[in-house]
Chain A
């Protein structure tokens, strides 16, 4: 009887520790990174995203590379970052844009996504500003 109660208790604890639905990462306009339980909307803050100087970084979108499980983000100033979800440390990869006609054309994107092979796509406005390239 005691053994049955113990097994039942362990089973209840195990089931209660498993989230009910799939989790998604969510970033918000204050720079926080959350997980959201899609089965009930419960949101849990993972971290506040920041650079190595502890300056806050607000991401306009995030995407997970399915081939490496590395989380990427694009910031409100149009830079690509990698993100450590647990600490929020955002490491710059580069300015989002391309060189054309001797100028660097910044891409003002707010949508980011990987395909299954790890190729990265973005969507947005490609003529935000033109900067001289060096």
Chain B
């Protein structure tokens, strides 16, 4: 069933964020559960936005902000959450992504052993690639993303997503996280 495209304004909107199971053959996305609790419910942390999802082994991670300390101007204080992929609930403690400088606007994650993130560091407006230790949120091995030669743009636009690249005769299994030859 194809949806009709409407020019009518949205009839409803809220800011609860969910994990969805998606049928890759048609785009049907069924909600599994919310990782953003009711902000009116005291004592329950509300997580905003969804930077990127990534599986590391059988663990599912997401970058997001906490409503309690989200600053839309700076977009700093990104958290790495581990989600229950059955219902989207947040497992255990969430980790603030941090390194020598503030980490902000992390909108790309990929696991090619170790986990890599794409985002911005400190006051720099140049996107960077870095490694993430999911156990404590520590960010290290930071490199500014620099276009290679060949007449491309001088400045790399803002990254919006990332995933691993399969490699020819060798493949990387996200579940095993080791090279197969």
Contact = CB atoms under 8 A, between A and B. Distances in A.
A24 B110 contact: yes
B166 A69 contact: yes
A133 to B, nearest CB: 6
Nearest to A125: B17
Given A24-B163, A65-B24, A43 B17 contact: no
Interface residues of B, number: 80
Contacts of B152: 44-45
Contacts of A123: 17-20, 35, 50, 53, 62, 88
A110 B160 contact: yes
Contact of B112 (A38, A131, A132): A38
A127 B2 CA distance: 18
Given A41-B144, A129-B10, A27 B161 contact: yes
A95 to B, nearest CB: 5
A89 interface: no
A122 B25 CA distance: 14
Interface in A105-121: 106-107, 109-116, 118-121
Contact of A28 (B49, B128, B131, B160): B160
B4 interface: yes
Interface in A23-57: 23-30, 32, 34-36, 38-45
Given A41-B128, A129-B10, A120 B161 contact: no
Contacts of B16: 125-127
23 contacts: A24-B116, A27-B162, A28-B157, A29-B157, A29-B159, A34-B156, A36-B129, A42-B147, A43-B145, A43-B147, A69-B166, A96-B29, A97-B3, A109-B29, A110-B50, A112-B22, A113-B52, A115-B60, A121-B85, A122-B20, A129-B11, A131-B6, A134-B1
Interface of B: 1-6, 9-32, 35, 49-55, 58, 60, 62, 85, 88, 107-108, 110, 112-113, 116, 118, 128-129, 131, 143-148, 150, 152-153, 156-167, 171-176
Interface of A: 22-30, 32, 34-36, 38-45, 58-66, 69, 71-73, 79-80, 93-99, 104, 106-107, 109-116, 118-134
